[in-house]
Amino acid sequence: MSPSGKTIFAFGCYLLVLGATLLLTPNLLLALFGFPLTEEVWIRIVGLLVIYLGIYYSLAGRRDLRPFIAATVPVRASVLAVFGVFVATGMVSPMLLVLGLPDLLGALWTWRALRSERFSTALAST
């Protein structure tokens, strides 16, 4: 696995844990972040979708799927900005920003790995 592949694989593992928590014990996570508890099924459906995303990320990382890896950087970096809009408009508690931090940090880690790999490739070809 390339360094960038490892970052995507690690993020996929994070998504699998987050998704399993949302699917199996959603109120534990909601309470931890100060959100209202729920008995509705929607949060569990979101958990299942997050698990599916985790599977895709893990497989893409293990197989070093460069186009996917590169595409995740701006998408994951945007999560915190969108969450910021939700907070700024009063739709949700600022605690949501904490859930966006792994996306931003993971995107920066992947971006740095991709840059390093491109730099290494350029040096090797000269």
Q: What confidence tens digit (pLDDT) does each residue in 42-98 have?
A: 999 999 999 999 999 999 999 999 999 999 999 999 999 999 999 999 999 999 999
Write out the two tokens for 44.
């569990």
Given a contact cutoff of 8 angstroms between Cβ atoms, the answer to whether 22 and 46 are in contact is: yes
Number of domains in the chain: 1
Lowest model confidence (mean pLDDT) among 2-11, 32-41, 42-51, 104-113: 32-41
**Signed CA dihedral, 113, 60, 45, 31: sign only:** negative
Whole-number mean pLDDT of the chain?
93
Q: Which domain holds residue 42?
A: 3-124
Residues ≥6 apart with Cβ < 8 Å to 51:
15, 16, 19, 20, 23
Q: Is 34 helix (H, G, I), strand (E, B) or coil?
A: coil
Average pLDDT rounded to a whole number, residues 103-112: 96
pTM for the model stands at 0.86
CA neighbor of 53 nearest in space, from 121, 88, 98, 102: 102
Q: Tell me how far apart the alpha carbons of residues 125 and 106 are, in angstroms, rounded to a whole number.
A: 29
pLDDT computed for residue 70 by the predictor: 96
